[in-house]
Amino acid sequence: MKKYCLLLAAFFLINTSLFAFDEGFVLGLKSHFLGSATDPYVNESDMALMGASYMEGNVGFIIQGGMDVSYIFDSKRYFGLKGTTVFGGLGLGGYIEIGEGYSGQVSGKEGVGDVYVNVFFTPVVHLGTTLKAYFLSNKLVIGLGVGARLIADATPMYDMYSSVPTVIPSEVGTIIVTEKMRQQMNPWGGEIKISMEYIQPVLDTTEFVIGGYVSYCFYKPGYISMPPSLAAAAALQNPPFYPEDQKLDSFFLNNSDFGVTLGINFKMDA
């Protein structure tokens, strides 16, 4: 029975009409399975305040999901093209997504050792607008998005370990974002993303979507939040340093996200 159902499903997909949405509003529901690579930057003077002489990024795994609404401008009607299946038109829309965020840092002091800190934020909200180009009977979609990212987590989880456990112990815990930190730290970042999707129509009003995207987020927090034990170690090396009070103008925690997208599209004005 299972084999029969699989063969029937395969026959249905193979014999589905090449119809794809020509124009009109399209609602997309999508899930993203991503790797997230942190790209930190801080100048030497601000790094010295934190008791470090170098800082690098790390890579983690996150999941996001959300929706986008686009309007497809058909190539025949809006661009005067006829008899071509290569270029199908342009789409313009907006997206809102929610999921996890990640920040990974490897820092330390030469001659002392490395400290690895991985921080996971939930929820993180993404919103913006996307321009899409449709090709090959609207089955191949290439998109360029511009938007913003909001870190809305007041209790991010972290894990930390170091090559010098006698100085900085390994631990797992929660960073409590105080009212003072909420007032001072910037939760907003800007992002750009490039996506490529393959669309498989299954009904006149429904499409399956598989693809992937790469995004880059520019984020300047202004201040730094640290696990308590790491903040205490930094304060011992540099007594005037307190994370909540010390503004770090050169400090950026940018992120590059990359991975696979799975979803489904619905034509809204059918």
Give the pLDDT score at 79.
64
Neighbours of 50 (CB within 10 A): 25
CA-based nearest residue to 139, from 210, 212, 215: 210
Token pair for 188:
């907003």
> With DSSP H G I counted as helix, E B as strand and the rest as coil, what are the percentages for the chain, rounded to 5?
15, 55, 30
In a domain, 217, yes or no: yes
In a domain, 15, yes or no: no
In a domain, 95, yes or no: yes
Residues 259 and 60: beta-carbon distance below 8 Å = no
Give the pLDDT score at 23.
78
Give the pLDDT score at 10.
42
Give the pLDDT score at 31.
96
Q: Is 238 exposed, middle or buried (0-12, 13-18, 19+ CB in 10 A)?
A: middle
In a domain, 121, yes or no: yes
Expressed as residue numbers, the domain containing 90 is: 43-197+211-262
Buried b (16+ CB within 10 A) or exposed e, 3-35: eeeeeeeeeeeeeeeeebbbbebbebebebebe
What are the backbone dihedrals phi and psi of residue 245, each rounded to the nearest 5 degrees, phi first?
-105, -20
Q: Which sign does the torsion angle of CA 125, 126, 128, 134 carry?
A: negative
Token pair for 75:
């190539």
Neighbours of 201 (CB within 10 A): 20
Give the pLDDT score at 240.
58
CA-based nearest residue to 162, from 250, 92, 234: 234
The pLDDT tens digits along the chain (270 residues) read 444 444 434 433 433 334 466 778 999 999 999 999 999 999 988 887 777 888 999 999 999 999 999 999 877 766 666 656 688 889 999 999 999 999 999 988 877 788 899 999 999 999 999 999 999 888 899 999 999 999 999 889 999 988 888 777 888 988 878 888 888 899 999 999 999 999 999 988 899 999 999 999 999 998 887 777 777 766 666 655 555 667 888 999 999 999 999 999 999 875
In a domain, 10, yes or no: no
**HSE-up (13 A, CA, CB side) for residue 46:** 16
Query: How are beta strands 252-267 and 140-151 bridged, if at all?
Result: unpaired
User: How many structural domains is the chain composed of?
Assistant: 1
Token pair for 226:
């640290």
In a domain, 5, yes or no: no
In a domain, 76, yes or no: yes
Neighbours of 76 (CB within 10 A): 14
Give the pLDDT score at 237.
64
In a domain, 216, yes or no: yes
Give the pLDDT score at 7.
41
